[in-house]
Structure 1
Amino acid sequence: GVRSVRLRLSISSTPANLIRLWSRVNFEYNRQRRQAALVAVQYLKEKQRVVAEREWVAATAAAMHTAGVAPARIYAELTTDRINRRFIERSLYGGRATSPRVGASYPDFDTYRVQATDGLGESGMVWTRVAAVEPVESFEGEVYDFTVAHPDHNFVANGFVVSNCGVRLLGTYLEQEEIAPYLQDLTAALYRACPSGVGGKGRVRVSGRELDELVVEGARWALKRGLARPEDVAHTEEEGCLPGADPSKVSPRAKERGRPQVGSLGAGNHFLEIDVVEEIYDPEVADAFGLRENQVVVQIHCGSRGYGHQICDDYVKSLQGAVRKYGLSLPDRELVCAPIDSPEGRAYYGAMACAVNYAFVNRQVLAMGVREAFEQVLAGKVADFDLYQVYDVAHNIAKFEMHEVEGKQMRLCVHRKGATRAFGPGRPEVPEAYREVGQPVLVPGSMGTASYVLVGTQKALDLSWGSTCHGAGRVMSRHKARKKIWGADLRQELEAQGIVVRAGSMKGLAEEAPAAYKDVSRVVEVVHGAGLARKVARLRPLAVIKG
């Protein structure tokens, strides 16, 4: 007979070999398989990074334990969303004969594929996060410069802008001593009632049609659904609704991101605080605002979440063409703009107004969550646990206002980026209850520092279109703050000052450390001295909730 020969090709299934196979050979004859293989390469690389991180944590935990570091501190410093306390305990006391696995919480490939390719189709590309942005020293190689004007530019820094990031101040009828025994429970209840963190889901679920109604109606949408009180709406800038919102100018991706996040804090510098009024500077105005010494108040600082961020991302890209089309000259290559009456300008304004109104509703829904938490913890323990709204003011917004220019009233589009409206007495836009004294101006401090309530002035209208500061700017990048500051140490420092802290992560806590910001008290003194706003009250934090 004829001898036959059969060859069997065996391919190692180790992650390293599969990465080499699919990234170098792949399935060029089949587009679907090629796309799946490219995604699988990234999936395996991510798994390798997670395993390496867990190996590092296991070794670091053991080294810290050998050095005499208390287990509680080891858990606080090394626990992350991918590494739980049980893993660290086993590393300390159980020993490890083999390399750690990724953990049960790590998504399977099908789940990862859906999440990582959202909106990318069968391109083979996946979404991922920028690991770090660091200065490079003594670099002599070539760099391909992706500028905003370059057609290949597609990077927008996280947090570039979120329309109507702003602050809401709620007053109570309580004094500090009344809530002191319940402060821990109250903070925990607020943490549950007000979802936070990157991508955090909100308190209210809405359909696509309801979202479009929400962003057109603003605070009135919440009022009709029992999520607001009439006085809440009256004590909100623009009564919680900026005219001109046009949902047709908002991308499907922005709507997709915004639908699940109504009523959520988010992350970054956004927060919820329980404060006490520590000092009153202007008793008459403070009385008009409903503020008094030793009073407990609550601040809510957040914006339009992923909805507003996506709108910005979309229009930064589309307006690059408008800059060239209209021959505009800008002082910074990372700026874009369009004439306000151009098709591009009108489209952006319609989308931005949607984000503004989304943010007003977002803070309104959170305010109702705060009221529910106070009732849950304090009912039957204090005489009156209710909260009333002092004011809600935007920090990032552009809108049309009437101002005097060379002796004549003119309709201007005033763009406040990192600034707060500060209208003085008599302006019709100021709520009737405050019209004789001027508009409340809310200036939050950094975490653990004082915040301020100011009042708008006529001088601000004369000098700065009725605008003033919105807080204390950063002096340290988030990356640098994480390198210099341990979140667990910061939490201990704040709690040693009597400030209760709840945070989604220790890294996020470190990013917002007081040392990362300017001194807000000095900023306020400059504003007060210049007459752009006057000091009314200083607030001291009792509890802080961060995303």
Structure 2
Amino acid sequence: MDISRLVRISDHQWRLPPRDGMRAPAVFFGSEPLLRAMEEDVARQLSGVATLPGIVSAAWAMPDAHSGYGFPIGGVAAFDPVEGVVSAGGVGFDIACGVRTLTTSLDREDLLTVQAPLADALALAVPSGVGQGGPLRLDQAEIDRMLRGGASWAVGRGFGAPGDLARCEEHGRMDGAAPGAVSAEAKARIRDQIGTLGSGNHYLEVQWVAEVFDPPLADGFGLRPGQVLISIHCGSRGLGHQIGQDFLPRMLAEAPRHGLTPGDPELACAPLCSDLGREYLAAMACGVNCALANRQVIAHMVRQAFGSVLPGVRLNLLYDVCHNTCRREEHVLDGRRRTLYVHRKGATRAFGPGHPGLPPDLTALGQPVLVGGSMGTSSYILAGIDENPALDSACHGAGRAMSRTRAKKSFRGRDVAESLRRRGIFLRAKDLRDVAEEAPGAYKDVNLVIASAAAAGLAKPVVRVEPLICVKG
């Protein structure tokens, strides 16, 4: 990306002043090398976001940002509830894709002799792959209950414990979900997909704590050096994708009625106070609940798989965070508390200490911010901090450095798998051809992303983790 037109605010924050119809500045977080390596499309897309009606403060790009559909992935923008809009492209197709991390009572050494059988048990327990269904089949009435209830529905069905819900965003269930706003086609696509990973960059990873940066916070989160963790990265499967497909053309078709003329059709949107805007938010809330239910069911299956190989092991939920949402939140801007609708696409909510949205046992610590690396590289657990400069938002991953098409041309899945094996990482994947898309070399250096996020004041690093087992979609 050409950074000559940006104003340097600090070594890790840059500003593009409003121009060409922008109603707010575009702000980029990241070191100079990270920004120079970003695609030019990130600046174009973020500038387009800044032209949308009712945008408040700025449009932000996280250090892991790369080009997406409409909004860049790693894009954040907030809108006034009266004058603002909701954008399906600003939420993304995989609604509420996110990460759930479980702590265990195990140390790394406890796994070294059982990695292979444990990897097999996890791959068998949690189906993965494009369109892959699982053993749980829902009828129409049960799908509607799941869309209303989210993770609480899953707990009610025996998947996990009520205590899990306190450690989920929205306490496991987003209000405002209306299954009637979701098409029959979208519901049909989720009928047998709850409890499945999907494909692409989704994964189930067994990890160990390799480095502790903040011992008091780590202790508060229940983390210790050498401890085994499990992270689950997936979303709302075919249902979320279909919701996006259903609403994007409707938003584009109805735009003239509302006086909207998005310069980019991918930024099709609807006024928040319009019937279409409210209908999309109701459908999106169903997508959020679907993703929360999916990760809750997968976590239950993971607990069973671990128990079959290592009887007596304890797996507790650290936190579950989403990174493709639009949420109604309260924020203080210019000394005034305001209600805003915050789009986070490929960005994680990062509440600081004392925030009322946190469970009591995390209030003094801040929210765990779960940041996945690329397959075979480090991941991080951060903590939300006070005075976040981007409305309590942080990065969500390493961020792609090359497209999936280019990655397939640059890497061979078999070579990637062999490289992981030599490093003691057990890979289980449906198709090695798809592994090439997720090769570590196809992503940015997550260590540089985290360094920029910390330096920019987005979140505080707590621990770094390394993979032992990776089950890929």
- Using the size of structure 1 for normalisation, the TM-score is 0.69
Structure 2 stretches lacking a partner, 5+ long? 1-87
Give the corresponding residue for 1:412.
Answer: 340
Query: Contact 1:194–1:203 at 8 Å: present in 2 too?
Result: no
Alpha-carbon distance between aligned partners in 1 of 2:234 and 2:336, rounded to the nearest angstrom: 36
Specify which of 481, 484, 508 is matched with residue 434 of structure 2.
Answer: 508
Partner SS for 1:170: strand
Per the TM alignment, residue 411 of structure 1 is displaced from its structure 2 partner at its CA by 1.2
- CA deviation string 1:368-421 (max 9, x = no partner): 000000011112xxxx41200000000101110111122111111111111000
Give the corresponding residue for 1:322.
Answer: 254
Partner SS for 1:181: coil
Alpha-carbon distance between aligned partners in 1 of 2:149 and 2:174, rounded to the nearest angstrom: 9
Partner SS for 1:199: coil
Alpha-carbon distance between aligned partners in 2 of 1:492 and 1:234, rounded to the nearest angstrom: 40
Specify which structure has the bigger relative contact order, considering alpha-carbon pairs within 8 angstroms and separated by 6 or more residues: 2
CA shift in 2, pair 1:374/1:527, >3 Å: same
Give the corresponding residue for 1:531.
Answer: 457
Give the corresponding residue for 1:293.
Answer: 225
Query: Contact 1:442–1:470 at 8 Å: present in 2 too?
Result: yes
Alpha-carbon distance between aligned partners in 1 of 2:468 and 2:249, rounded to the nearest angstrom: 42
Give the number of the structure whose alpha-carbon radius of gyration is greater.
Answer: 1
Specify which of 272, 277, 282 is matched with residue 350 of structure 1.
Answer: 282
Alpha-carbon distance between aligned partners in 1 of 2:135 and 2:351, rounded to the nearest angstrom: 33
Over the aligned positions, Cα root-mean-square deviation in angstroms equals: 1.4
- CA deviation string 1:294-347 (max 9, x = no partner): 000000000000010001111111111122221223353321100011011011
Query: Contact 2:252–2:265 at 8 Å: present in 1 too?
Result: no
Per the TM alignment, residue 205 of structure 1 is displaced from its structure 2 partner at its CA by 1.7
Give the corresponding residue for 1:376.
Answer: 308
Specify which of 176, 189, 202 is matched with residue 270 of structure 1.
Answer: 202
**Residues 404-413 or 391-400, more deviating:** 404-413
Whether 2:393 is the aligned partner of 1:467: answer yes
Paired residue total: 385
Query: Contact 1:431–1:439 at 8 Å: present in 2 too?
Result: no
- CA deviation string 1:205-245 (max 9, x = no partner): 21110110111111111121111212211100111111100
Query: Contact 1:455–1:534 at 8 Å: present in 2 too?
Result: yes
Partner SS for 1:389: strand
- CA deviation string 1:222-272 (max 9, x = no partner): 121111212211100111111100111100000000111011000000000
Give the corresponding residue for 1:423.
Answer: 351
Specify which of 306, 319, 333 is matched with residue 391 of structure 1.
Answer: 319
Alpha-carbon distance between aligned partners in 1 of 2:263 and 2:125, rounded to the nearest angstrom: 44
Partner SS for 1:459: coil
**Residues 170-179 or 197-206, more deviating:** 197-206
2:246 maps to amino acid = D
Whether 2:451 is the aligned partner of 1:518: answer no
Alignment of 1:94-493 (within 5 A): 161-379=93-311, 384-460=312-388, 463-493=389-419
Q: Which has the higher strand share?
A: 2
Partner SS for 2:271: coil
**Residues 286-295 or 475-484, more deviating:** 475-484
Alpha-carbon distance between aligned partners in 2 of 1:183 and 1:316, rounded to the nearest angstrom: 44
Percent of pairs identical after alignment? Answer: 48
2:331 maps to amino acid = H
Query: Contact 2:93–2:242 at 8 Å: present in 1 too?
Result: no
- CA deviation string 1:23-43 (max 9, x = no partner): xxxxxxxxxxxxxxxxxxxxx
Partner SS for 2:191: helix
Give the corresponding residue for 1:87.
Answer: none
- CA deviation string 1:445-487 (max 9, x = no partner): 0000000000001121xx2111011112111111111111110
Partner SS for 2:342: strand
Alpha-carbon distance between aligned partners in 2 of 1:238 and 1:164, rounded to the nearest angstrom: 12
Partner SS for 2:155: helix
Query: Contact 2:207–2:230 at 8 Å: present in 1 too?
Result: yes
Alpha-carbon distance between aligned partners in 1 of 2:123 and 2:233, rounded to the nearest angstrom: 14
Query: Contact 2:92–2:324 at 8 Å: present in 1 too?
Result: no
Partner SS for 1:423: coil
Alpha-carbon distance between aligned partners in 1 of 2:244 and 2:371, rounded to the nearest angstrom: 24
Give the corresponding residue for 2:77.
Answer: none
Query: Contact 1:274–1:543 at 8 Å: present in 2 too?
Result: yes
Query: Contact 1:219–1:228 at 8 Å: present in 2 too?
Result: no
- CA deviation string 1:42-84 (max 9, x = no partner): xxxxxxxxxxxxxxxxxxxxxxxxxxxxxxxxxxxxxxxxxxx
Query: Contact 1:171–1:291 at 8 Å: present in 2 too?
Result: yes
Per the TM alignment, residue 197 of structure 1 is displaced from its structure 2 partner at its CA by 0.2
Structure 1 stretches lacking a partner, 5+ long? 1-155
Alpha-carbon distance between aligned partners in 1 of 2:433 and 2:178, rounded to the nearest angstrom: 38
Give the corresponding residue for 2:47.
Answer: none
Whether 2:420 is the aligned partner of 1:494: answer yes
2:409 maps to amino acid = K
Alpha-carbon distance between aligned partners in 2 of 1:421 and 1:160, rounded to the nearest angstrom: 16
Alpha-carbon distance between aligned partners in 2 of 1:282 and 1:298, rounded to the nearest angstrom: 20
Query: Contact 2:93–2:243 at 8 Å: present in 1 too?
Result: no
1:332 maps to amino acid = D
Q: Which has the higher helix share?
A: 1
Alpha-carbon distance between aligned partners in 2 of 1:165 and 1:374, rounded to the nearest angstrom: 24
Alpha-carbon distance between aligned partners in 2 of 1:522 and 1:247, rounded to the nearest angstrom: 41
1:188 maps to amino acid = D
Query: Contact 1:374–1:386 at 8 Å: present in 2 too?
Result: no
